[in-house]
């Protein structure tokens, strides 16, 4: 195939293959069907799978997710789409109070094999209500699983796993990654679902472990290249799934490097990096030679202005600078 | 299931029995809670029995329903076992939810009772989704969701009715208007008097019914269920009724005027139906007493059985967080 396999292609294929395998898999969301999705991710799926598996809804996030939860209670495997993760706030009761808890509260009588795909992150001046990274809102809720793929192959494998998973999965797709085709593992077979809870070393290193995911991972890789020129060997590690998290994989890397930095797009305060940092400071204390450092967005909403956006969000240069300073102090 | 007009004496006695069973179950639960045997909240369904029993009278095996925080009545009307309900209230592991849910989240999946809900309006989108799946499967089944007047001001109500109407989903939206959303009287929480009027704004059929007349509720349910099963879409049924007790057990409901309470108490659905049974359907007082005695006996045994049930082991607190917890990783 001469055309590049993009992140969007990967997601589309995962959905289509799972729909072919099981007629109880269906998509539900705004403009996902006939229009092919506002980002073109579901292009062609309505023609291929029909209205039975592709449900275009009014603008009603609570009902979209709630209906998906109700259908899942009856044995369906719905994939609800939230057009911008920011809009998930309108569906939080259905996600947090219902989906996350129904299997537990009912003593196991109800299962919730639901996927909620959320389009996340900066979009380039898409402003404060269309640019957020809200992973920590969901990692904080027991009963949910949270997945954040960074490459096309992983997006496909993880989404297929999510659809087959018997529990509710929040599946984050970064809007600026849709057109990307990089980061091939060279090892994974795209047709296999990828079991959660296994991270991946994206770049081997020995001086510091940098945990990063979604689009920030690409910034971190660029920063690592620059750092290498100065003799700083950064190991860049992608968790791939936030819940369940690959604690063993990260411990092994920390054992190797002795230093931990976490870089994500979400605001630093209370971001998922805080959870990783606290865990590492406790569980990996004997292996750590330095304090744990977190890199993330400034604690402010995301501004419209490109100049201000660059000041708020982590960039390759700012990640590089922070790690360089850290290594000067603790290297 | 028969049309209400063709009910046999036995069927009518059964409606009476079901309402009485709910009434006595709730009264007993309140006493047990006062004795310290039931922790947490109870939201008694007392006074609204005709709605649950009347509506469920028209449901088939493949139908499903969702309910509210005031859910014991619907659950019993669907045929759930009182002893397993008491066991759940007593927080024993053989209760319906394995002691993980309690009153607010009780469920009997086998009987199509998809759960009470602790969020006002929370069950409405869920039932809508259940109806969507029934529709996708071309099932004969329909979904029913119960909610109060208070819930009709939640966004979940509006979003769900709009969606169900648009997609012609097989669902009954049953509003039990008991004139109070928690402590607030209806005329203080919405500008309209008849909630069924809202149906028109969703392009849906709206029906007002006497929620204290069990046979009227059954008739209304029959028509709405037939509509749903034929693919003609949802109905909003507004049952005018009243709760005898406060919002929760312990709430003295001082916010309700004395004459209003007295008026509704005089319209007790079970008393009304007993009178009808005797005067119109030649049921004897002895027959009614036999039903009362049987209900007392059943509930006494149920509570006893429940009290003998084992407590969960503390280690069970981490079970059922997920179906697949990835060898424990998802719990860390």
To the nearest whole Å, the CA of A214 is away from the closest chain B CA by: 20
Put simply, the answer to whether A74 touches B107 (Cβ < 8 Å) is no
The answer to whether B184 contacts chain A (CB < 8 Å) is no
Question: A210 in helix, strand or coil?
Answer: strand
Residue A297 phi/psi, 5-degree rounding, is -70, 150
Of the candidates B244, B296, B292, the residue with the CA atom closest to the CA atom of residue B268: B244
Percent of chain A with pLDDT over 70: 97
CA distance A120 to A251: 28
Whether the model clears a pTM of 0.90, i.e. scores above it, the answer is: yes
| CB-nearest partner of A66 from B129, B133, B322 | B129
Residue B325 has what pLDDT? 97
To the nearest whole Å, the CA of B172 is away from the closest chain A CA by: 15
**Residues of chain B found within 8 Å of residue A165, distances taken between Cβ atoms:** 324
- Number of Cβ pairs closer than 8 Å across A and B? 157
**Residues of chain A found within 8 Å of residue B136, distances taken between Cβ atoms:** 26, 52, 71, 76
Residue B1 has what pLDDT? 46
Residue B4 has what pLDDT? 47
Burial class of B45 by CB neighbour count within 10 A (0 to 12, 13 to 18, 19+): buried
Residue B5 has what pLDDT? 60
Structure tokens at B310: 């084992």
To the nearest whole Å, the CA of B32 is away from the closest chain A CA by: 22
Structure tokens at B163: 């969606």
- When computed from its CA atoms, the radius of gyration of chain B, rounded to whole angstroms, is 20
| CB-nearest partner of B100 from A52, A105, A145 | A105
| CB-nearest partner of A108 from B66, B98, B129 | B98
Of the candidates A211, A209, A217, the residue with the CA atom closest to the CA atom of residue A182: A217
Chain B residues 11-70 with a CB less than 8 Å from chain A: 64, 66
Of the candidates B236, B280, B50, B269, the residue with the CA atom closest to the CA atom of residue B147: B236
Continuous segment of H or E residues that includes residue A156: helix A152-164
The answer to whether B79 contacts chain A (CB < 8 Å) is no
Continuous segment of H or E residues that includes residue A115: strand A115-120
| CB-nearest partner of B326 from A67, A74, A197 | A197
Longest alpha-carbon distance in chain B: 66
The answer to whether B103 contacts chain A (CB < 8 Å) is no
- When computed from its CA atoms, the radius of gyration of chain A, rounded to whole angstroms, is 20
CA distance A270 to A119: 21
Mutate to test the interface with A, among B101, B109, B159, B313 (most CBs of A within 10 A): B159
Put simply, the answer to whether A244 touches B332 (Cβ < 8 Å) is yes
Give me the residue label for tokens 């009954």: B172
CA distance A164 to A255: 34
pLDDT tens for each residue of chain B, 332 residues long: 444 468 999 999 999 999 999 999 999 999 999 999 999 999 999 999 999 999 999 999 999 999 999 999 999 999 999 999 999 999 999 999 999 999 999 999 999 999 999 999 999 999 999 999 999 999 999 999 999 999 999 999 999 999 999 999 999 999 999 999 999 999 999 999 999 999 999 999 999 999 999 999 999 999 999 999 999 999 999 999 999 999 999 999 999 999 999 999 999 999 999 999 999 999 999 999 999 999 999 999 999 999 999 999 999 999 999 999 999 999 99
- The answer to whether the CB of B242 falls within 8 A of the CB of B269 is no
Kind of pairing, strands A234-238 and A208-212?
parallel
Residue A182 has what pLDDT? 79
DSSP letter at A87 equals G
Put simply, the answer to whether B115 touches A110 (Cβ < 8 Å) is yes
Residue A1 has what pLDDT? 46
The model's pLDDT over A142-194, given as tens digits with 9 standing for 90+, comes to 999 999 999 999 999 999 999 999 999 999 999 999 999 977 655 555 578 99
Question: Could you list the active site residues of A?
Answer: 61, 130
Residue B3 has what pLDDT? 47
Put simply, the answer to whether B156 touches A75 (Cβ < 8 Å) is no
The answer to whether B101 contacts chain A (CB < 8 Å) is yes
ipTM attached to this prediction: 0.96
- Going by C-beta distance under 8 Å and a sequence separation of 6 or more, which residues neighbour residue B332? A244, A245, A247
Tell me the C-alpha to C-alpha distance, in Å, between residue B142 and each of A110, A287, B130, B226: 18, 59, 8, 10
Put simply, the answer to whether B324 touches A52 (Cβ < 8 Å) is no
**Residues of chain A found within 8 Å of residue B105, distances taken between Cβ atoms:** 105-106
Mutate to test the interface with B, among A19, A66, A276 (most CBs of B within 10 A): A66
The answer to whether B312 contacts chain A (CB < 8 Å) is no
Which residues in chain A come in under a pLDDT of 50? 1-2
The answer to whether B318 contacts chain A (CB < 8 Å) is no
To the nearest whole Å, the CA of B197 is away from the closest chain A CA by: 21
Q: What share of chain B is helix, strand, coil (3-state, %, to 5)?
A: 50, 10, 40
């Amino acid at each position: 195939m001469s055309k590049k396999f993009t992140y969007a292609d990967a997601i589309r294929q995962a959905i289509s293959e799972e729909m072919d395998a099981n007629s109880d898999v269906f998509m539900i969301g705004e403009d996902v069907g006939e229009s092919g999705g506002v980002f073109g991710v579901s292009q062609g799926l309505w023609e291929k799978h029909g209205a039975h598996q592709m449900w275009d809804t009014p603008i009603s996030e609570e009902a979209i997710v709630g209906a998906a939860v109700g259908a899942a209670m009856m044995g369906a495997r719905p994939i609800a789409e939230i057009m911008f993760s920011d809009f998930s706030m309108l569906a939080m009761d259905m996600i947090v109070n219902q989906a996350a808890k129904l299997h537990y509260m009912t003593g196991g009588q109800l299962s919730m094999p639901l996927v909620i795909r959320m389009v996340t992150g900066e979009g380039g001046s898409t402003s404060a209500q269309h640019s957020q990274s809200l992973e920590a809102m969901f990692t904080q809720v027991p009963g949910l699983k949270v997945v954040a793929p960074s490459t096309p192959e992983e997006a496909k494998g993880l989404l297929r796993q999510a659809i087959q998973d018997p529990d509710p999965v929040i599946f984050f797709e970064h809007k600026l990654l849709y057109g990307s085709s990089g980061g091939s593992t060279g090892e994974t077979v795209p047709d296999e679902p990828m079991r959660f809870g296994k991270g991946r070393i994206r770049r081997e290193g020995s001086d510091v472990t940098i945990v990063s995911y979604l689009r920030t991972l690409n910034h971190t890789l660029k920063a690592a290249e620059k750092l290498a020129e100065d003799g700083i060997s950064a190991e860049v590690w992608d968790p791939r799934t936030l819940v369940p998290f690959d604690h063993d994989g990260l411990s092994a890397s920390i054992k190797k490097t002795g230093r931990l930095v976490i870089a994500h797009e979400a605001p630093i305060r209370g971001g998922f990096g805080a959870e990783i940092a606290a865990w590492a400071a406790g569980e990996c204390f004997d292996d750590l030679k330095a304090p744990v450092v977190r890199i993330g967005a400034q604690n402010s909403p995301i501004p419209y202005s490109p100049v201000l956006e660059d000041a708020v969000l982590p960039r390759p240069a700012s990640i590089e600078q922070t790690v360089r300073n850290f290594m000067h102090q603790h290297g | 299931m028969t049309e209400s007009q063709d009910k046999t004496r036995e069927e009518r006695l059964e409606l009476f029995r079901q309402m009485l069973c709910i009434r006595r179950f709730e009264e007993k639960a309140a006493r047990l809670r006062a004795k310290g045997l039931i922790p947490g909240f109870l939201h008694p369904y007392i006074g609204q029995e005709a709605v649950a029993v009347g509506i469920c009278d028209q449901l088939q095996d493949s139908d499903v329903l969702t309910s509210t925080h005031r859910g014991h009545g619907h659950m019993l009307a669907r045929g759930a076992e009182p002893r397993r309900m008491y066991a759940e209230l007593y927080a024993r592991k053989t209760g319906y939810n394995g002691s993980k849910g309690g009153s607010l989240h009780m469920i009997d999946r086998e009987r199509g009772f998809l759960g009470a809900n602790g969020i006002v309006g929370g069950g409405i989108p869920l039932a809508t989704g259940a109806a969507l799946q029934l529709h996708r499967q071309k099932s004969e089944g329909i979904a029913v969701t119960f909610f109060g007047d208070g819930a009709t001001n939640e966004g979940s109500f509006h979003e769900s009715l709009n969606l169900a109407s648009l997609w012609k989903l097989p669902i009954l939206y049953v509003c039990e208007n008991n004139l109070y959303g928690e402590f607030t009287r209806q005329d203080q929480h919405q500008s309209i008097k008849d909630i069924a009027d809202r149906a028109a704004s969703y392009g849906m059929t709206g029906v007002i019914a006497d929620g204290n007349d069990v046979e009227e509720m059954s008739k209304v349910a029959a028509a709405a269920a037939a509509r749903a099963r034929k693919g003609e879409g949802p109905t909003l049924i507004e049952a005018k009724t009243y709760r005898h007790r406060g919002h929760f057990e312990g709430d003295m409901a001082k916010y309700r005027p004395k004459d209003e309470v007295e008026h509704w108490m005089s319209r007790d659905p079970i008393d009304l139906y007993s009178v009808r049974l005797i005067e119109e359907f030649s049921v004897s007082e002895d027959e009614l007493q036999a039903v009362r005695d049987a209900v007392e006996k059943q509930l006494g045994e149920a509570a006893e059985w429940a009290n003998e049930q084992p407590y969960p082991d503390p280690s069970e607190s981490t079970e059922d967080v997920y179906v697949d917890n990835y060898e424990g990783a998802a719990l860390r």
